Amino acid sequence: METSDKIRHYADDDIDISYDVRRCIHAAECIRGLPAVFDSGRRPWIMPSAASVAEIANVIAKCPSGALHFKRRDGGPSEAPELPTTIVPTPGGPLYVRGLVHLRSADGSSAFEDVRMALCRCGQSRNKPFCDNSHFAAGFDDPGAVPESGGPAENK
């Protein structure tokens, strides 16, 4: 599950933004939230000097896949995990997980730790356990409902 070969860094004096290409599912929270910083039509597409560190940190925390992270160089706080940990199935898409999450391999060894991730529900991802948007091509259709009783959800 190591993805470090696909991580890009964009930095200025106050913040270092990391972008993990393999985990991005193009939810575009960053582009909608701070288009002056995040602009996929520009190179480099991330310009950390175009907004305050606080604004950037706030927008990065909205990235559902965990593809974006930041390290503050100004002494400010790093991203804290949400408590309690939440898992939200999205309609026709991945599970959005937020909190302090430790993914483990089938043999029980620790494989990955993060505070945000999008996990595949359709079974078609080429980047399992992470979502890679293969659910679109697969025609995955699930309402993302969670039953109140803990039993199987009804598809309507």
pLDDT given for residue 150 in this prediction:
66
pLDDT given for residue 129 in this prediction:
95
| Cβ atoms 131, 93 nearer than 8 A | yes
**Residue 130 structure tokens:** 């992470």
Q: How far apart are the first and last CA of the chain?
A: 35
Q: Which of 139, 128, 137, 136 is nearest to 103 (CA)?
A: 128
The CATH architecture to which 86-138 belongs is 3-Layer(aba) Sandwich (3.40)
Handedness of CA 145, 150, 155, 156 (dihedral sign): negative
pLDDT given for residue 10 in this prediction:
98
| pTM of structure | 0.88
pLDDT given for residue 38 in this prediction:
99
Local confidence pLDDT in tens for the 156 residues of the chain: 444 578 999 999 999 999 999 999 999 999 999 999 999 999 999 999 999 999 999 999 999 999 999 999 999 999 999 999 999 999 999 999 999 999 998 898 878 899 999 999 999 999 999 999 999 999 999 999 988 876 666 654
Specify whether the backbone of 21 is left (phi greater than 0), alpha (psi in -120 to 50) or beta: alpha
Domain span(s) for CATH 3.40.5 in the chain: 86-138
pLDDT given for residue 20 in this prediction:
97
Tell me the CATH number of domain 4-72, given options 2.40.370.10, 3.30.70.20, 3.30.110.30, 3.40.50.720.
3.30.70.20
pLDDT given for residue 109 in this prediction:
86
Per-residue pLDDT reduced to its tens digit, 93-132: 999 999 999 999 889 887 889 999 999 999 999 999 999 9
Domain span(s) for CATH 3.30.70.20 in the chain: 4-72
What is the SS3 string spanning 98-134? EEEEEEECCCCCEEEEEEEEEECCCCCCCCCCECCCH
